[in-house]
Structure 1
Amino acid sequence: MTPRQPAVQVNAIPETYPLSVQAALRSITWPADQVHLLHRLDADSGLFTSPDGRLYAHVENEGHLLVEHLSDGRYQIPFSFTPLLPGPFLTKTERQPIWTFERPNWLAHSSESDRPNATAESTVSEQPLYLAPNDAALLSPALHSPDGIRYDKHRKTYIDTPDGTVMVRKNATGQYEQTSATARNISTLLFEQIPGTKLWRRKTRESADSRESSHQEKRKASSDRPENKQGSSKRPHLEEGADTHLALTQSLLSDNPDAINLSYSLWRNWGRSIQPPLGQHIEIDGQYYRIVPQDLSDNPRLVYLQHPLFSPALYDAFEFMLRDNPSLQPKWAVKRNNQWTVLDNIAPLEMPITQYIARTFKYLSDQSVSSLARAMFNQANHSEIIQGRGLALMTQIFRYWGDRDLRRASQRELVDPLLMLRNLATRSASPRETTLEIPSTLGEGLMRLDLDPGRFPQHWNEYAAEPTVPRLRWLFSNVLEDDGYVIDLMDAALWKDGLLFHREKIDYMFMLKLPSIINGRIQRSPDTASELSHAMWQLRVGEQKKPLSTYRDEQKIIYLLGGTQTDALRQTTLFIVRDK
Structure 2
Amino acid sequence: MSPKRPLKPGANNPSPDTTFTLPDVGPPTLHRLPLNITSHGTERAPVDHPDTPVQSSSSRSASLEIADLPLETHITPVTVHAPIEHFFLPPNQLARLPAPNALSGIRELGTQRHFVDLQEGGTVLLGIDSENHYRARLNSDFRPSGPRVERLEGTLTWRVKPTAESAGDNDSRLTVKRLRTPDEDPEEVVAPKRSSTSTGDDWSDPWKKWEAPPQHASSSSLEVDGIRFLLVPRGSDPDHPIVYIKNPEHWIYDFDYMERILGTDLMQQPRGAIRVPPANQWEVDPNLPFQHPLKQYIANYFPQLSEISVAKVARRQFGLANDGDLATGVGLTRLRQTFNDWKSGNSAPRPPLADPLLMLPILPTASMGPGFARTLDLPTSSPEGPLKRLDFNLTRQEWDDFKTTQSGTELKWMMTAILNRQGYDVFPPTSTNAFPALVFRRRNHPFVFFISLYRVKGRKIHQPLNTDPNATDARLNTQIGYAALQEILQAHAEKKLVWLKGGSQVLASQTDTVFIVRDDESRLETLASL
Q: Name the TM-score, length of structure 1 as normaliser.
A: 0.55
Structure 1 residues 295 and 574, CA gap change in structure 2 (3 angstroms)? closer
Amino acid at match of 1:499: L
CA distance in 2, matches of 1:434, 1:548: 23
Structure 1 residues 408 and 390, CA gap change in structure 2 (3 angstroms)? same
Deviates more, 1:548-557 or 1:515-524: 515-524
Structure 1 residues 297 and 352, CA gap change in structure 2 (3 angstroms)? closer
In the TM superposition, residue 284 of structure 1 has moved relative to its aligned partner by 2.4
1:403 aligned to which of 322, 330, 344: 344
State the SS of the aligned residue for 1:533.
helix
Structure 1 residues 73 and 496, CA gap change in structure 2 (3 angstroms)? closer
The residue number in structure 2 matching 1:501 is: 440
Amino acid at match of 1:343: D
Structure 1 residues 290 and 430, CA gap change in structure 2 (3 angstroms)? farther
- Residues 273 and 287, structure 1, Cα contact 8 Å, conserved in 2: no
Structure 1 residues 490 and 469, CA gap change in structure 2 (3 angstroms)? closer
Structure 1 residues 422 and 77, CA gap change in structure 2 (3 angstroms)? closer
Instruction: Indicate yes or no: 2:292 matched with 1:361.
Output: no
The residue number in structure 2 matching 1:339 is: 281
Instruction: Name the count of aligned residue pairs.
Output: 386
- Residues 315 and 377, structure 1, Cα contact 8 Å, conserved in 2: yes
CA distance in 2, matches of 1:382, 1:527: 40
In the TM superposition, residue 307 of structure 1 has moved relative to its aligned partner by 1.5
Consecutive unaligned residues of structure 1, counting only runs of 5 or more, are 1-16, 25-36, 48-55, 64-69, 82-86, 119-132, 145-150, 153-263
The residue number in structure 1 matching 2:424 is: 485
The residue number in structure 2 matching 1:472 is: 411
Structure 1 residues 449 and 101, CA gap change in structure 2 (3 angstroms)? farther
- Residues 538 and 547, structure 1, Cα contact 8 Å, conserved in 2: no
Identity of aligned residues (%): 25
Q: How does 1:105-254 map to 2 (within 5 A)?
A: 105=153, 109=162, 114-115=167-168, 136-138=197-199, 141=200
Structure 1 residues 42 and 379, CA gap change in structure 2 (3 angstroms)? same
Instruction: Indicate yes or no: 2:426 matched with 1:373.
Output: no
Cα deviations by residue, 1:276-323 (Å, 9 ceiling, x for unpaired) = 465622232444322111258763321111211124531111111111
CA distance in 2, matches of 1:528, 1:327: 61
Deviates more, 1:273-282 or 1:332-341: 273-282
Q: How does 1:13-52 map to 2 (within 5 A)?
A: 41-43=21-23
- Residues 435 and 452, structure 2, Cα contact 8 Å, conserved in 1: no
CA distance in 1, matches of 2:242, 2:130: 53
- Residues 242 and 272, structure 2, Cα contact 8 Å, conserved in 1: yes
- Residues 563 and 574, structure 1, Cα contact 8 Å, conserved in 2: yes
In the TM superposition, residue 348 of structure 1 has moved relative to its aligned partner by 0.3
Q: Which of the pair has the greater relative contact order for Cα pairs under 8 Å at 6+ separation?
A: 2
CA distance in 1, matches of 2:302, 2:141: 15
CA distance in 2, matches of 1:480, 1:466: 20
Structure 1 residues 480 and 277, CA gap change in structure 2 (3 angstroms)? same
Amino acid at match of 2:208: R
- Residues 354 and 370, structure 1, Cα contact 8 Å, conserved in 2: yes
- Residues 502 and 510, structure 1, Cα contact 8 Å, conserved in 2: yes
- Residues 515 and 523, structure 1, Cα contact 8 Å, conserved in 2: no
CA distance in 2, matches of 1:429, 1:286: 70
Structure 1 residues 496 and 502, CA gap change in structure 2 (3 angstroms)? same
Amino acid at match of 2:412: R
In the TM superposition, residue 541 of structure 1 has moved relative to its aligned partner by 5.2
The residue number in structure 2 matching 1:320 is: 260
Structure 1 residues 321 and 359, CA gap change in structure 2 (3 angstroms)? same
- Residues 77 and 90, structure 1, Cα contact 8 Å, conserved in 2: yes
Cα deviations by residue, 1:405-450 (Å, 9 ceiling, x for unpaired) = xx33223301111111111128999999711111013565310000
Cα deviations by residue, 1:36-84 (Å, 9 ceiling, x for unpaired) = x99874336999xxxxxxxx99998699xxxxxx9x9587989999xxx
- Residues 302 and 421, structure 2, Cα contact 8 Å, conserved in 1: no
The residue number in structure 1 matching 2:9 is: none
Amino acid at match of 2:452: K
CA distance in 1, matches of 2:459, 2:423: 30
The residue number in structure 2 matching 1:513 is: 452
The residue number in structure 2 matching 1:391 is: 332
Cα deviations by residue, 1:506-535 (Å, 9 ceiling, x for unpaired) = 111111111353541112356799674168
The residue number in structure 2 matching 1:449 is: 390
Structure 1 residues 279 and 541, CA gap change in structure 2 (3 angstroms)? farther
Consecutive unaligned residues of structure 2, counting only runs of 5 or more, are 5-16, 28-39, 43-80, 87-107, 115-125, 172-194, 521-530
The residue number in structure 2 matching 1:300 is: 240
CA distance in 2, matches of 1:77, 1:413: 36
The residue number in structure 1 matching 2:93 is: none
The residue number in structure 1 matching 2:356 is: 417
CA distance in 1, matches of 2:210, 2:140: 33
- Residues 376 and 414, structure 1, Cα contact 8 Å, conserved in 2: yes
Q: Name the TM-score, length of structure 2 as normaliser.
A: 0.60
- Residues 291 and 304, structure 1, Cα contact 8 Å, conserved in 2: yes
Structure 1 residues 297 and 276, CA gap change in structure 2 (3 angstroms)? farther
Amino acid at match of 1:463: F
The residue number in structure 2 matching 1:218 is: none
Structure 1 residues 281 and 430, CA gap change in structure 2 (3 angstroms)? farther
- Residues 312 and 318, structure 1, Cα contact 8 Å, conserved in 2: no
- Residues 291 and 303, structure 1, Cα contact 8 Å, conserved in 2: yes
CA distance in 2, matches of 1:280, 1:529: 63
CA distance in 1, matches of 2:130, 2:420: 52
Cα deviations by residue, 1:491-517 (Å, 9 ceiling, x for unpaired) = 443964111111111111111111353
Structure 1 residues 561 and 89, CA gap change in structure 2 (3 angstroms)? same
State the SS of the aligned residue for 1:458.
helix
2:379 aligned to which of 434, 439, 447: 439
Amino acid at match of 1:473: K
